[in-house]
Every structure is written in structure tokens, then in C-alpha cells.
Amino acid sequence: MLRASFNHFNKTAVKVSSNTLILSLREGYIALIPFFIVASLITLVNQWLDIAAKGFDHHYLNQFNQLVWGLFPLFTLLSFSYHLAKNIKIHTIAAPILVISCFTATTGYIYVDDQTLHIDHRAGVLYTLFMPIFCCYSLAYFERLRAFKIVEVSTISLFLRKHVNLIFPYMLVTTITLFIYPFVEQAADIALDYLALDSLILNPQDKISLQLIGAHLLWFLGIHGDNTYHILVSSELSGFMVTPELINYHFFSTFVILGGTGCVWGLIIACLLLKNAQHEKHIAKLSAPLAVFNISEVMLYALPIVFNPYIFIPFLLAPAINAFISYQLLIHDFIPIVTQDSIPWFTPVFVNAWILTESVWIVLLQALLIIMNVAIYYPFLVAHQKNNMSGKALDMLVKRYAAGRMIEEQAESRFATHHAEQQISGYTLSEVTDALNHGALTLYYQPKINPVTQEIVGFEALLRLVNPDKSVSGPWFLETLEEHNLLHVIDNFVIDQLEVDLEAFASRGLYPKISFNISPDNLLSGGYKRVIKAFSRFADQVEVELLESSYIGDFNKMVAIVTTLKDSNIQCAMDDFGTGYSCLSILSKLNIDTIKFDKSLLPDGSNEKAALLYKNLADLCAELGFKTVAEGIESKADAQVVIAANITCVQGFLYYKAMPIEEAIGIYKST
């Protein structure tokens, strides 16, 4: 029962993590990490050194913290809107401008007083999430409706056509937003009045619980929880005495959050204790120097904690336990408070405890609480590591939907310079970009079989396009992209996705050998460097399939590239041998590992000469030291031919069709 419940939770968690909206929030807040760090460090240094008070002409630094965090809602809108627009395939500049316009016009965040613009940072904080979602999805909906398209013809550039067609959807979304906002605001006011938090009579423990849960829930939603909580609630709830000697500010910074929101020190140490957790350990090492000064944003957004269902429970539980234990010790006079002076928020853990209490035992209490936090986080991080996606996998989930946009952007520059000669072929490219923009690229895996033992000995990674109706088609668009010199976009996707999928195999303890194709031009122009960077750590697991034509342009350079790949533990194969040039003399000069026999070499019917040629070619390749693979095995007669020819590896519909990664993992694990 417990196992079934956990499996159900895992499936739900993966769906949540891979949701387009959640991915966009994650990307948006990760993009703001430099802002968080720089703003926090400048504030920290200014408060620490008090530069202006020492006679320097830097008085503006005294208002830096207030000014920068006052602009935080605007930065959030811009970043979240951009990444959401990118992921739902609408314009990445037009959409954020629309969102910011609607936000500032309705919420009162920016207002005019005596012909002067002012910012009210308390206004519209929660709308930094809701406004991008409403505006971007509405814009995407209206943009798809044919009735609102002004230009349908392809005689103008794809870029210009797309922007002209935004006019009516833009007007509609703006009009609807401006019309419905007063009603939404009235509903929100009624809800707040119903809750009536300010009128409740709460004891200190209730106020602690409310602040802890409120701020952490806001952080989990991607909103700057501490700032937002203090904006939303009254001073009675944001600044209160926990005991007659201790204000809530010192209580939380010294005894509850310990390194930053969510008890970051416990989380960092738990990440460092994980086995085979490259992503988590990298983020922990990056976060540790900042956590010394209680800056937690890197951990929150890069691990991530925001909208991560695996971390939600410990993210609330760890500070709650800290608060409960510390509060009980305080009210029973086990914690001596010797100073009521303000201790800056950036004062490191242990140091703040000593300043506040001058007690070694309270410093040890902090250490004990951190150890408890590690124990709380660790099992949840193990579940997160096993079942959730790494940062690279999340990036690739976004890239699955981004190829069309990348091709479209590069095609626009070509349209401008070669308009006349590309008018006809440009329409075909438009069809390709439309298909890629509305579908999702992915990799399928076709098993390679030992024809005698029927054992799976590896896979070939094959590109597929998942269409909007969930049907799957082959890469019919490659020829058009090759005509426009855009194949490198697809090659880069395949390399990145295969790297993620190899990690997925490895996470299950599986290490199959997988081959993939790359365009010759990309390889010769430096693409092999990206291959080495991605796969050199998967020793002898990856095989690059090269067309024979790859050697025609610059034979010596291709031989050198193959040598470089092999030096990095990446093997190479000649694909589709038997088609094209098929010059036998080239076999003696190749430094590759494998020859793949094309389906066209298989005998048609009972053609004994063809069968003899097939066997002799296989024998010749084996004597020259090449491994052999037979493609296109679709019948038992084909299987008999390759077995007779002593081919050691085959692939084809007789055995398996290409399949998604999870299905490939299941089949490989069961053999």
C-alpha cells in the first residue's frame, strides 16, 4: 500500500516538475539569480561597512536595498513572462511588454502623483505570478485563431508576418485584462476581509506559525516570501515580541531559518552527503559561500525548491521543528538573551547566537538543529534524486519545443539577404518551422540485437517529432533544413538529449551502447568538440554514425576527427554502407570501428548472388577488423541471411521498432 502510494506520488511529482508553467517559473527565477546575489551582496557590504557614513560620496547606497527590492516585482514579471512566452511559443518580447503594461496599468504598482511617476512596492505583489499566466496564455489562444490573422501570404518575411498578426490578439488581451481587473480585485478584497487576519487575537506562537507557513509557502510559489509576507500583513504580524526580550526578527534569523529560508545549511549538507548526485552537489557547493551570510536564493531557485513537490514537506518541516524546539526552550528560560541590539540579517550562523546569548550551549543548540535539518531533508532528497529530473534534463525538456523557434530566428536573417532566391524554398522552410513550433522533438531508441542469442546489445538513437495530436512522425524535415544550412540546430538537440538519456539509463544502473547520426558538415566545422564534451565521460557507450560522403570533402580531416573522437572513448561507425559511393578501396583507409550494412544490400527473394555478395562483404569487413551491423531486418528470410553471413549485430522491425526512452529502459532492464 505504502509502495503504491509512493509510486503514485512520484508520477504526480514528475508531471508537476515537467509542466510548462512550472518549467517557465523555474527558468524565470533562475535567470534572476545574478540579481538576487548582487543585490544581496551590495546591501550586505554597505550595511557592514557603512560606506556613506565614512565620508564617501555614496549616500545613494543607503537607499539601495529599498530601491532594488522595490523593482523586484517588475524584474519578476519580465523574467517569468519571457520564459513562459518562449515555452508556449509566443513572441518573447511582445508578451513581456504586454504583461508589464497590463500590470502597471491595473495594480497601482506605478502611479502618477502631481505629474511624477511613483512606485508602490506593496501594490500587486501576487499579480507578478497571475498576470503573466493570464496574459501569455490568452495571447497564445487568440494568436492561434485564424480570424485574427491580418496576413496569411508568405511573400513577406516570416518575422514580419508574425508581428503584424499580433495586433488584434494584443488588443484583445489588453482590453479583457483592463476590464476584468476591478472585479478580480473586489473578489480578492472580499476574500481577505473574510480571512480577517488582522482582527484575530493571536499569541506569539500563533504569530510564529503564521509567519513561518506564510513566508515559506510564498517562497515555494516562487515569490520572495519574506518581503512579500511583510508587505501583505500588518505590523502586528510582521514585527512582534516572541518573548519580552526577543523580537521575531532575531528569533527567526538565529533559531529558525539557519542559513536562509528553509534552513538552507541543513539542505546544503544533506545534498553533499548524497551519492552520485552531481547536480545537487554542484548547487550545494555554489550556495555554501552565500549561505554563510544567510543568502538562500541560489539553493531555492537552482536546486530547485520552487514548485518541487519532493522538497515541499521538509522545506516546511525543518523550520517548523526548529521554531517549536527553540520557542519551548525560550519560554522555559533555557535560552538567555543578553542583548536586544539589532543583529544584521547577514550575520553568520553561530556568530549571531553568540552575540545574542553569549552562550556556547546555544551555539551548540544551533549545530544540533542543523544536524536535525540534515536528517529531515536527506530522505526526501534521495527520492528527488531518484525520481526527479536533473537541471540538464529540465533544460532539454524546454529545448524539445525550442528547435522551431531557433530555426525561425536564423532563417529570418537569411530571408533578409536572399529574399529573391529563397521565395519558393522559403515556403517549405515555413512549413518546417510551423511543424516544429507546434510539435516537440524527441529521441526514440531502436534496439540492436545479437541475431543468434536475441540479446539486446545496444540501441540507435533516432530523431522523432511528436505532433500536436500526439502522433509520432520521422524526421521528414531534415532535407529542407539541410538546404538552408540549419541541420546543426537538430544535431545540437540530439547531442544534448542523448546526454540526458544516457544519464537516465545510468540512474537505473544501465549502461547500454548507443549510436547516433550527425551531419557531416557540422562534424567537419567543429561539431565534434560538442560531441566530446557531452560523451567523453560515457566511456565506450557512444558511437557516432558517419555517412560515407563525410569523407569525400576532406578525407584527411575526417580521419583526424575520428581519431580525436576515439581518443575520447567515443567510437565511430560508417552508416548506410552499400548506398552512395560504396567504394571498397576506402575500407582499407578507414579508422572507424563499425560498418553498418544498408537494407538495400539484403537479397531480394532467393537471389543467391546477392546473398553471396552480402556474406563476402561481411567476411571482408570482419577480416579488416571492423564490427558489422545489419540494418532493416524485417523478415525471417533477412535474419537467415545475416546469420549465415556471421553478422554479430542486427536491427529492424522483425525484432523491435524504435521506442521512447522509458520503454527502452524497461526492455533493456528485463533482458
Measure Cα distances from 146 to 174, 294, 436 in Å.
Answer: 19, 52, 19
pLDDT > 70 fraction of the chain, expressed in percent and rounded: 82
All domains of the chain in start order, with CATH: 201-388 (no CATH), 440-670 (3.20.20.450)
User: Distance between CA atoms of 219 and 76, rounded to whole angstroms?
Assistant: 13
Find the range with the poorest average confidence among 182-186, 356-360, 481-485: 481-485
Flag whether pLDDT at 422 surpasses 60. no
Strand partners, 449: 456, 650
pLDDT band at 369 (very low <50, low <70, confident <90, very high): very high
State residue 331's pLDDT score. 92
State residue 293's pLDDT score. 83
Flag whether pLDDT at 409 surpasses 70. no
Beta strand spans in 510-645 (E): 514-517, 542-547, 571-577, 594-597, 627-630
Are 138 and 84 contacting, i.e. CB atoms less than 8 angstroms apart? no
Give the dihedral sign, CA 52/58/59/63: negative
Are 503 and 542 contacting, i.e. CB atoms less than 8 angstroms apart? no
State residue 365's pLDDT score. 96
Number of H helices, E strands in the chain: 31, 13
User: Distance between CA atoms of 283 and 152, rounded to whole angstroms?
Assistant: 47
- DSSP letter for each residue of 146-211: GGG-S---SSS-HHHHHHHTTHHHHHHHHHHHHHHHHHHHHHHHHHHHHH-GGGS---HHHHHHHH
State residue 419's pLDDT score. 41
pLDDT band at 373 (very low <50, low <70, confident <90, very high): very high
State residue 416's pLDDT score. 41
Task: Say which residue, 649 or 227, is predicted with more confidence.
Answer: 649
Task: Say which residue, 99 or 20, is predicted with more confidence.
Answer: 99
User: Distance between CA atoms of 106 and 178, rounded to whole angstroms?
Assistant: 7
Flag whether pLDDT at 126 surpasses 80. no
State residue 423's pLDDT score. 40
User: Distance between CA atoms of 232 and 122, rounded to whole angstroms?
Assistant: 7
Flag whether pLDDT at 310 surpasses 70. yes
pLDDT band at 161 (very low <50, low <70, confident <90, very high): confident
Segment 122-149 shows an average pLDDT of 85
pLDDT band at 424 (very low <50, low <70, confident <90, very high): very low
pLDDT band at 157 (very low <50, low <70, confident <90, very high): low
| DSSP label of 598 | P
Q: What does the pLDDT look like over 199-218, one tens digit per residue? A: 567 888 989 999 999 888 88
Which residues are CB-neighbours of 488 under 8 A, at least 6 positions away? 519, 521, 522, 525, 527
State residue 421's pLDDT score. 42
Measure Cα distances from 115 to 101, 109, 111, 645 in Å.
Answer: 19, 16, 10, 88
Task: Say which residue, 350 or 610, is predicted with more confidence.
Answer: 350
Task: Say which residue, 7 or 335, is predicted with more confidence.
Answer: 335
CA atoms within 13 A on the CB side of 464: 20
User: Distance between CA atoms of 176 and 285, rounded to whole angstroms?
Assistant: 46
Flag whether pLDDT at 291 surpasses 80. yes
Find the range with the poorest average confidence among 62-66, 268-272, 282-286, 644-648: 62-66
State residue 405's pLDDT score. 58
Burial class (CB in 10 A: 0-12, 13-18, 19+), 103: buried
The residue type of 78 is: L
pLDDT band at 413 (very low <50, low <70, confident <90, very high): very low
Flag whether pLDDT at 279 surpasses 60. yes
Task: Say which residue, 400 or 556, is predicted with more confidence.
Answer: 556
Segment 322-351 shows an average pLDDT of 88
State residue 199's pLDDT score. 57
Flag whether pLDDT at 417 surpasses 70. no
State residue 334's pLDDT score. 92
Find the range with the poorest average confidence among 178-182, 373-377, 483-487: 483-487
Average pLDDT, the chain: 81
What is the distance in angstroms between the CA of the first residue and the CA of the last residue of the chain?
28
pLDDT band at 196 (very low <50, low <70, confident <90, very high): low
pLDDT band at 231 (very low <50, low <70, confident <90, very high): low
User: Distance between CA atoms of 653 and 467, rounded to whole angstroms?
Assistant: 22
Which of 205, 204, 227, 200 shows the shortest CA–CA distance to 215?
227
Q: What does the pLDDT look like over 20-72, one tens digit per residue? A: 787 787 778 778 777 777 777 777 676 666 665 665 666 666 677 677 777 87
Find the range with the poorest average confidence among 155-159, 452-456, 541-545, 618-622: 155-159
State residue 420's pLDDT score. 38
Flag whether pLDDT at 392 surpasses 60. no
User: Distance between CA atoms of 148 and 137, rounded to whole angstroms?
Assistant: 16
